[in-house]
């Protein structure tokens, strides 16, 4: 079965700093999803990447997919306290979202 490894497990940054979270898959990626979760709450959809080399941005968050490396990165520019939370990557190794497997998450703390 597909496994996703996220790094780092946790991250503490000062407000205004840039940061990167990585997600590496044990199998070929067909779709890579990034979600954000506040403690004890549901997952908020951020972005979905489907093609090798694809890059998407939303506000100050940019995600890239490196198909050859079976890896995705999430980059936050000029972090703010509102960016704090748990970032989860999810992936499918076949078409569609039926078999969406998640990593364990990266806990981000942004200190003002």
| Contact residues: other proteins, CB under 8 A | 4, 31, 33, 35, 40-45, 48, 50, 88, 90, 96-105
Nearer to other proteins, 18 or 45 (CB): 45
Nearer to other proteins, 42 or 112 (CB): 42
Give the residue among 33, 44, 38 at the shortest CA–CA distance from 81.
38
Nearer to other proteins, 14 or 98 (CB): 98
Residue pair 1/101 in contact (Cβ under 8 Å)? The answer is yes
Q: How far is the CB of 95 from other proteins (least distance, A)?
A: 9
Task: Please state, in angstroms and as integers, the Cα–Cα distance from residue 38 to each residue in 10, 88, 106, 108, following that order.
Answer: 14, 11, 12, 10
């Amino acid at each position: 079965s597909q496994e996703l490894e996220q790094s780092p497990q946790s991250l503490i940054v000062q407000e205004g700093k840039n940061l990167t979270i990585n997600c590496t898959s044990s199998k070929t990626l067909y779709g890579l999803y990034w979600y954000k979760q506040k403690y004890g709450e549901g997952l908020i959809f951020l972005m979905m990447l489907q093609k090798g080399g694809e890059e998407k941005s939303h506000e100050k968050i940019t995600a890239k997919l490196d198909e050859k490396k079976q890896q995705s990165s999430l980059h936050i520019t000029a972090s703010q306290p509102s960016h704090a939370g748990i970032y989860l990557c999810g992936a499918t190794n076949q078409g569609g979202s039926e078999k969406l497997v998640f990593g364990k998450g990266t806990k981000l703390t942004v200190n003002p």
